[in-house]
Structure 1
Amino acid sequence: MQGVNGLGILGGLLLCAGAALVLAGPAMAQDADYRVNQLIIYGDDECPASSGDEITVCARKDEGERYRIPEDLRKSDDPANNSWTDRVEAYETVGASGTLSCSPTGLGGWSGCQQELLKAAYGEKGEAASIRFGELIAQERAKRLSTIDEDAADEQSRVEVLEKEYEARKAAEAEAAASGTELTPSDDTGGQ
């Protein structure tokens, strides 16, 4: 596919990238005289003002994070931190061969490879250092479960009101049947 003046798309992109570098050169030279001070501040702490030759950039975190170990260091992927259960499971699969083993030996050894890949992917997903979906899911579950009691109480009170209306309607029908009169919709205490 040809672009402008017979140049290909790739040629046009290279031309644009070169022009961007030439134009950005003077701007980068101006910023070389500045020092950048990057700070993490907590709670309502004030970010220090920038001075003449220093740019101060502040990242704000919650007050509860002030004396905690940084998030990246809280959980370790070091094999020494694995539980004994995980270690034993690893030892159980060392000599695996045959069906569902994901090995080149034995009949059907290839058949366990997808299962092994899925297990590894879910393991990585649960142990990822940056995003811990397992913890997020547990928090969301706890939030949902906290409203169950309140929702159940509301539902129970609605059911009790409907039961009382039904019993009142049945009592009115029985009374009307005993006296020999017919109920009209306006006489019905539970009707709408």
Structure 2
Amino acid sequence: MKPFLVAAAAASVLGLSAFAPLPALAQAAPGEKVNQLIVYGDDPCPESADGAITVCARKDESERFRIPPPLRDNPNAAVNQSWTDRVKAYETVGAAGAYSCSPVGSAGASGCMAKLFNQAYAEKKQSTDVQMGKLIEAEREKRLKSIDADAAAEQARVEQLEKEYDARIARERAAEASPAPAAPSATPAPGSLATPPQD
């Protein structure tokens, strides 16, 4: 077998191994889990479990089997558009050139994608449907308040321990710095042999 064919076969095997599925643990992206639910009537909202954030949007019981409100009507119909949007539409009539979303002029089609984005964001902003993002933010704020309170209590406990430790160290240093009581002078006991003074 030629060395070139061996090298090509090895390269193809190595190339295919790059597309092998990753283990389940490697695929799991870190971060918080968010569970978004819509409940109707008096249905209970399930409790959060395993550190996940569970938010529930509550709707009337009469909405349970109905088509969602945003899909019941045409949002692009003229009767559903505000006067401001109509005036903005008139401002772009006859526009040509770059970023105009027009077949006329140089780079006229370059603004079509931006126009679609702006329309999508405007529809989302005016939508009366449930906005899960706001519910998730409210739940996060509620959790952060409890985290801040727990952190403040822990900080107070640590500061108290530090004060007690500093006071103990100060007492020990003061005890070491204080002069020791004088030792009693050694006097010979009666009847003991004392060395006579030498002349």
TM-score, length-scaled by structure 1: 0.46
> Considering only CA atoms, is the larger Rg found in Structure 1 or Structure 2?
2
Structure showing the higher helix proportion among its residues: 1
Higher relative CO (CA 8 A, sep ≥ 6), structure 1 or 2? 2
TM-score, length-scaled by structure 2: 0.45
